[in-house]
Structure 1
Amino acid sequence: MQKRLVILGAGESGMGAALLGKKEGYEVFVSSLQTIEMRYKQVLQQEDIAFEEDQHSIERLLKADLVMKSPGIPEDAPVVVKLREARIKVISEIEFASLHTHAMLIGITGSNGKTTVTSWIHYILQNAGIDAVLAGNIGDSFAKNVARKSNNCYVLELSSFQLDGIETFKPHIAVLTNITPDHLDRYHNQFESYIAAKFRIVKNQTQQDYFIYDADDPVINKWLSQHEIKSIKIPLSSKELSGNGAFLKDDELHIKINESHFTMAQDDIALKGIHNTKNAMAASAVAQLLKIRKQTIKESLQRFHGVEHRLERVINKNKVTYINDSKATNINATYYALDSVKADTIWIVGGVDKGNDYTELLPLVNEKVKAIVCLGVDNQKIINSFNNCVDTIVETRDMQEAVDQAFNLANPGDTVLLSPACASFDLFKNYEDRGNQFKEAVLKLK
């Protein structure tokens, strides 16, 4: 008898799971509480996949043998609670896709830096001639890629939401860039629950697998001191390490893996800043584990120029630099952004607050920020946090207005930095939409 697969949510993850489910012979039904985007609806119609939008027909959903929940749907959503009460298995798209491939999996998670590290690893592998696919929380979904064709290697960016729904998913190489408070609204303001979600990446690893992590991160170190993991640990540090790992010594990057030792001048790394040096360590440690030539690694570290919407220099206009850091959706990411800017800064900030504590930013804001442009539906928390240290704070409700205000406030030599520290969903589809609108608005300036 044909198994019934229900997909909750019809975004990128839901669409990928629907296509893979059909390919694997499931009877697929897609259920979305929102209106489905036309581009996705057309795919469902072309593939003859049954769907509903603007509702969940509970009786029909309860007939499922398996449910794939999109990562944006919280665990305590009423429909998920009812399905679990009915003892129907609910998994993530990452889990579902992993059940249908035997490829080597490289999984990258962390509060910040995971997109850069994922893209950097993929870039190195491509340069080495390895047919690796970039997927997960970046580009096309993992499931959609598995549905398209058989591949030997996937490099997956993984959010905590995606990891929440795994049972057997196991990356051969897992990377954890760092852990700082983020998405606390989703985890009922329990930082420990968010930490546990991140560490699910090592849950199913064995002694034959590898775990690359920031050994300077106190949150990661505390968790590791309290929990056993089976995989081989590869630490990253700004201080010299004695065994396997990556570290800095005398302004040189050192990667020591299984008797192989790779070195490179820190100044030769394309992306600057200590956080990017850590990202380079993570990417090159993966490359060393895969026995990629040292010259290929070195050239890839020298030539990689980052990802869109992450400290992306848009233009220098009238001697004012405009930087798009729309991907900074939490305090820690914005801290890196403000720290990296050397000029007086007009800071565009705001959106959907995820339980932010802005006090960590106060020293940098005091030192660097001459004006704040709030961009959000509710900006009061930002205003209350910074009105004692920044003289000029203005409120805006759309990107063009925010950029125009920043333009009027900037003097030659200043930097206008979009680094929101918040999610984008109050005014934009996602952080990419926010970043693209920023770039469009900047390029329209006279």
Structure 2
Amino acid sequence: MGFYLGILGAGESGIGTALLAKANGYEVFVSDKGSIKEKYKQVLIQHEIEFEEGKHSEEKILNANLIMKSPGIPDKADLVKQIRAKGIPVISEIEFASRFTNAILVGITGSNGKTTTASLTHHLLKQELEVGLAGNIGESFAKQILDKDYPNYVLEISSFQLDDIESFKPHIAVLLNITPDHLDRYDYQFENYIASKFRIAENQTAEDYLIYDADDEVITTWLEAHPVQSTLIPFSLKKTIENGAFLDNNNTIIITVDNNQITMSAANLALEGKHNIKNAMAASTVAHLLKIRKQTIRESLENFQGVEHRLENVLKINKVQYINDSKATNVNATYYALDSMDGPTVWIVGGQDKGNNYQELFQFVNEKVKAIICLGVDNQKLMENFGNMVDTIVETQFMSEAVKIAYKIAESGDSVLLSPACASFDLFENYEDRGRQFKDAVRNL
């Protein structure tokens, strides 16, 4: 019997890991408590990989030498506790996959902006380098290593994926911001979540880089108390930075790395909003470190189209703009969305609350929001927080109905914004499903 890998969860990361492990001579067993999607099942059958669905066979799993668990499975799960009690190492897909590649890795994490920054970074690099995009986005990292093994990868990485690393080390790590999110998975201790995000740098050396937001007090305070080995490259909208990126008084982005400077006008960025200037700074700094030509960086920033379900303009109907920001699964993401609204806004909000504190949204709701449509199974908290702030607040559990109500309320010059500030699992499969249903409902008006 060879080395035996147990895989919990047969989603994108689980299937990719199974294929990579099998190709490298591991004995593999895939177990999913739910049902496995047909396309994934076919892949497992075709590659003769043993699997089960609808249950976890404990004795089989507890016989493994190593366990790869899907980021969606919490440590609190009984089976995970048993595995750890037995001393079987538990790792994430990015940890497993990184052991089979010598590629230069760019790891991007943060509470918000990961997908946009990872996609933008990939867009900047792919003009001149062979580079894959993986992690929390697209095809799994493991499967890409098996199929193509690019010399470079941009990885969007969540805290859950970082929780289960051992030796994973990006050459360039990007830490965009840290705001309270997923606290239900961290015993409601913000410190645990911060520590988790900083694991992206824990194996880095002085030859590696950590690019981070110097305006984020959570990050700067933590760094002072817990120094890292990495070479630090901060970015800021507020202060002048000698080695890193900042915005000067003329709205020019200035990036300096090892005395090599690149400048560009923030006004020319395809993506709007202050938070996107930061995302652009982070992505451009990565490109600058990897020796992408300055002209290429500038051009790529000007033509990048953004990410689906992130402040995505859907349609304008009767001079009302419908905006899909379904990817806003926490309060901070919605903060950016409301901040970027110009006129009166009909706001569709709600879903599975992860311990949200809505206070930081109050100023925008008072200023800009004319009506609120709560779209969730349990909207009590939203009603309590915002009930007195707007004239109209309604509840629904159907996207089509939410959009019809918005259509009736909105007048010429208004915007209808889907920016839920919550997870989607109470009524939808995931935030993509929620965003697609919104777009379909708008198109069917």
Partner of 1:310: 310
| In 2, Cα distance between equivalents of 1:437 and 1:289 | 40
Aligned to 1:298: 298
Distance 1:384 1:24 in 2: 55
Alpha-carbon distance in 2 for matches of 1:67, 1:241: 46
Cα offsets for 1:176-230 (capped at 9, x unmatched): 0000111111112111111111000001001100000000000001100101111
Aligned partner of 1:402: which letter? A
Aligned to 1:427: 427
SS class of match (1:315): strand
Q: Distance in 1 between matches of 2:346 and 2:119?
A: 29
Q: Which amino acid aligns with 2:430?
A: N
Equivalent residue, structure 1, for 2:327? 327
- Specify the code of the residue in structure 1 equivalent to 2:348: I
How far 1:45 moved relative to its partner? 1.2
Match of 1:352 in 2: 352
Within the alignment, does 1:245 sit opposite 2:260 as a pair?
Answer: no
Residue 149 of structure 1, CA deviation: 2.4
| 3-state secondary structure, aligned to 1:282 | helix
Structure-to-structure mapping, 1:167-182, within 5 angstroms? 167-182=166-181
Report the 3-state secondary structure (helix = DSSP H, G, I; strand = E; otherwise coil) of the residue aligned with 2:72.
Answer: coil
Shift of 1:278: 0.5
SS in 1 for 2:224: helix
Residue 243 of structure 1 and its aligned partner are, at CA, apart by 2.3
Which residue of the partner structure matches residue 366 of structure 1? Answer: 366
1:268 & 1:111 partners in 2: Cα distance?
Answer: 26
Q: Which amino acid aligns with 1:181?
A: P
Tell me how far apart the structure 1 counterparts of residues 239 and 270 of structure 2 sit (CA, whole Å): 22
Q: Which amino acid aligns with 1:425?
A: F
Whether 1:150 and 2:154 are equivalent positions in the alignment is no
* Aligned-pair CA distance for 1:150: 2.1
CA distance in structure 1 between the partners assigned to 2:229 and 2:357 by the alignment: 35
Q: How many residues align?
A: 444
Root-mean-square deviation over aligned CA pairs: 0.9
Query: Aligned partners of 1:83 and 1:389: how far apart in 2?
Result: 49
Deviations 1:375-426 (A, max 9, x none): 1111111111000101211111121111111111111111000000000111
Q: Does residue 165 of structure 1 match 2:164?
A: yes
For 1:271 and 1:27, the matched residues in 2 are separated by 46
1:36-185 matches, within 5 Å, as 36-127=36-127, 129-185=128-184
Q: Secondary structure at the match of 1:64?
A: coil
2-side partners of 1:22 and 1:292: how far apart?
A: 36
* Alignment check: 8 A CA contact 2:347 2:371 kept: yes
Aligned residue identity for 2:291: K
Change (3 A) 1:403 1:74: same
Q: Could you report, residue by residue, the CA deviation over 1:93-131 in whole angstroms, capped at 9, with x for unpaired residues?
A: 11000111111100000011111110011001112x211
The answer (yes or no) to whether the contact 2:243–2:256 under 8 Å persists in 1 is: yes
**SS state of the match for residue 204, structure 1?**
coil
Once the two structures are superposed, what CA deviation does each residue of 1:255-310 show, in whole Å capped at 9, x if it has no partner? 00111111111111111211110111001100110111110011011111211110
Q: Which amino acid aligns with 1:225?
A: E
Could you say what secondary structure the match of 1:185 adopts? helix
For normalisation by structure 1, the TM-score amounts to 0.98
- The letter for the 2-side match of 1:278 is K
Q: Report the counterpart of residue 26 of structure 1 in structure 2.
A: 26
Q: Which amino acid aligns with 2:217?
A: P
1:16 alignment counterpart? 16
Structure 1 stretches of 5 or more lacking a match? none
Rounded to whole Å, the distance in 1 between the matches of 2:430 and 2:368 is 28
Q: Percent identity?
A: 64
Q: Distance in 1 between matches of 2:67 and 2:365?
A: 46
The secondary structure found in structure 2 opposite 1:74 is: coil
Q: Distance in 2 between matches of 1:242 and 1:116?
A: 24
Q: Distance in 2 between matches of 1:365 and 1:15?
A: 43
Does residue 211 of structure 1 match 2:210? Answer: yes
Shift of 1:240: 4.0
Work out whether residues 34 and 53 of structure 2, in 8 Å CA contact, stay in contact via their aligned partners in 1: yes
Question: 2:383 and 2:41 mapped to 1: Cα distance?
Answer: 41
2:169, 2:356 → 1: CA distance?
32
| C-alpha separation in 1, matches of 2:252 and 2:148 | 41
Find out whether 1:384 has 2:384 as its counterpart.
Answer: yes
Rounded to whole Å, the distance in 2 between the matches of 1:363 and 1:147 is: 49
Q: Distance in 1 between matches of 2:203 and 2:100?
A: 17
C-alpha distance in structure 2 between counterparts of 1:329 and 1:241, whole Å? 32
Q: Which residue does 2:256 correspond to in 1?
A: 256
Q: Distance in 2 between matches of 1:183 and 1:354?
A: 6
Letter in 2 for 1:388: N
4+ runs of 1 displaced by more than 6 Å?
Answer: none
Tell me the distance in 2 between the aligned counterparts of 1:15 and 1:329. 26
Output the amino acid matched with 1:4.
Y
| CA separation of 1:46 and 1:358: change in aligned 2, threshold 3 A | same
Whole-angstrom CA distance in 2 between matches of 1:396 and 1:14: 35
State the distance in 2 between where 1:64 and 1:77 align. Answer: 17
Shift of 1:38: 1.4
Task: Identify the range of structure 1 (38-47 vs 27-36) with the bigger mean alpha-carbon deviation.
Answer: 38-47
State whether residues 234 and 241 of structure 2, in contact with CA within 8 Å, keep that contact through their aligned partners in structure 1: no
Partner of 2:231: 232
1:311-345 deviation line (CA, Å, top 9, x unaligned): 00001011110000000000000000001011111
